[in-house]
A = this chain, B = another copy of it.
Amino acid sequence: MSSQKEIQLVKIIETVPSLRSWRKQFIKQDKEVAFVPTMGSLHEGHLNLVKQASERCPIVVVSIFVNPAQFGPSEDLDNYPRTLSKDLELLRSLNCVDTVFLPKVKDIYPSGIPLEIEKQKGTFVEVKGKSHQLEGISRPLFFRGVSTVVAKLFNIVQPNHVFFGQKDAQQCIVVRTLISDLHFPIEMHVGATKREYDGLAMSSRNQYLTPELRNYAITLYNALTAIKNELDKGKRNREILLRKGYEIVEEAARKVKEKNLGFELRLDYLSLADPSTLEELQEIEEGKGAILSGALYVGKTRLIDNLLFNCTL
């Protein structure tokens, strides 16, 4: 099989009916299918998920689809990095991807998908209780968009296993809840966050960063790491823990201002949340874990990151 694969090109499928009919053969052959949904602009984090997928299942599907429903009207849908030929090259080089699914917006959203919520019609999926906090505060429709496209892609690809990255921690929790609540017959796997040499979490949005912005992008990871160090030292109180993080961001923001660099470093939030409910924790109880997460504006680019303490996603 593997030597056959080496000379095979990756199959590109662009329509729902073609994907379905391609998928059908593996039902008959009783071969499990692994699925890695992406918005393209692939980096090491994605490639790592694809490798994990290929270790788990004989068949691997990667989708590349920039999902309009998870962008707000003032967000970066139009400018979101699209690097299809490079993405396909990367996926081919892995030598373990069977099919790349490249659906069109009108096929995924047959009822249309205008950015203004008042005009939106058709079927939407929402995970109540886990979508409104953290990322959901700045991006109120983000997880509705994620949940909706994930449900659609699951029904099209009908994977046995799906792979999501830890970097989007809340997304992992939302999708895990969706799989359980809607009874998708799918097993979910979370791949570790891939980081640059200095610890910056890999993200498609890092492409927006000029070298100057890039220098300060690491601030969020530094803040989270400082909090994690305090946790490792045995500190359990929210105020004490978060203060460490705020200090680091404030210092970096002050430097940016002093140096007159022409951009701003602005913290959106730092969070210390219960891994199962995503509620903010005042104290971390013994034997219980926490998700440390945050979002930082580096100029106009909004970056997120997280570290886990005594828990998995």
- With A155-B184, A184-B155 as contacts: A111 and B126 at CB distance below 8 Å: no
For the complex, what is the distance from the CA of A183 to the CA of B111, rounded to whole Å?
A: 12
- Measured between beta carbons, the chain B residues less than 8 angstroms from A27 are 27
Quick one: CB contact mask for A103-127 with B, threshold 8 Å, 1 for yes? 0000011110000000011111111
* Interface: A287 (CB within 8 A): no
By the criterion CB–CB under 8 Å, are B126 and A185 in contact? Answer: no
By the criterion CB–CB under 8 Å, are A181 and B129 in contact? Answer: no
By the criterion CB–CB under 8 Å, are A181 and B109 in contact? Answer: yes
By the criterion CB–CB under 8 Å, are B129 and A122 in contact? Answer: yes
Whose C-beta in chain B lies nearest to the C-beta of A157? B183
Interface size classification for chain A: 20 to 34
By the criterion CB–CB under 8 Å, are B128 and A181 in contact? Answer: no
- With A155-B185, A158-B185 as contacts: A126 and B123 at CB distance below 8 Å: yes
- Measured between beta carbons, the chain B residues less than 8 angstroms from A124 are 125-126, 128
* Interface: A1 (CB within 8 A): no
- Measured between beta carbons, the chain B residues less than 8 angstroms from A155 are 182-185
- Measured between beta carbons, the chain B residues less than 8 angstroms from A183 are 16, 108, 152, 155-156
Interface secondary structure of A, over-half rule: mixed
* Interface: A259 (CB within 8 A): no
Whose C-beta in chain B lies nearest to the C-beta of A130? B121
8 Å CB interface, A122-156 against B: 122-130, 147, 151-152, 155-156
Q: Looking at the complex, which one of B20, B123, B181 makes contact with A178 (CB distance below 8 Å)? A: B123
- Measured between beta carbons, the chain B residues less than 8 angstroms from A30 are 28
By the criterion CB–CB under 8 Å, are B123 and A20 in contact? Answer: no
Whose C-beta in chain B lies nearest to the C-beta of A30? B28
By the criterion CB–CB under 8 Å, are A151 and B121 in contact? Answer: no
By the criterion CB–CB under 8 Å, are B110 and A181 in contact? Answer: yes
Known: A110-B180, A111-B181, A121-B129. 19 other contacts (CB 8 A): A16-B183, A20-B185, A28-B30, A108-B183, A109-B181, A110-B181, A111-B180, A120-B128, A122-B128, A122-B129, A123-B126, A123-B128, A123-B177, A124-B126, A125-B182, A126-B126, A151-B151, A151-B182, A152-B181
